[in-house]
Amino acid sequence: MTDSNPRSYVHAEVLGGVQRRRRWTPEEKLRMVEETFLPGNSVSRVARMHGVAPNQLFGWRRQAASGALTATRAGGQVVPASEYRALENQVRELQRMLGKKTMENEILREAISRVAAPKKTPLRTLSLPEGDL
């Protein structure tokens, strides 16, 4: 059976060796994202030109919109989200413990001030002359 439509072949890059995935720098990702916004370009077209899946490019666009791709351009270290959440939980727990210790400290100070304060003698304990009863 012959097909009247000419067939188009997709170019595929085969990665050999240990490396199975291509690594893109944040600058390369941003450049590709910026290309998608140029007049006459679409995400699919830019993805085909660079050999990237369109859904990956859409993901990079979301990251660029949230500022995730530009964070590494500042030269600072990037902390994984799981490590960040663990540190947030640790800070929350330390704040809870600090509040608890502060409350204990206030209670102890009040107790010390009551013990160390001069005692007031109640009026009933004053002795009255014996004949007034």
Domain locations in the chain as residue ranges? 13-72, 79-116
Q: Closest by alpha carbon to 67, among 26, 23, 35, 31? A: 26
Q: Closest by alpha carbon to 29, among 66, 59, 3? A: 59
**Higher local confidence (pLDDT), 89 or 3:** 89
In the structure, how many helices (H) and strands (E) does the chain have? 4, 0
Q: pTM above 0.75?
A: no
Give the pLDDT of residue 21.
73
- pLDDT tens digits along 58-86: 999 988 887 777 755 555 667 778 888 99
User: Which class is domain 13-72?
Assistant: mainly alpha
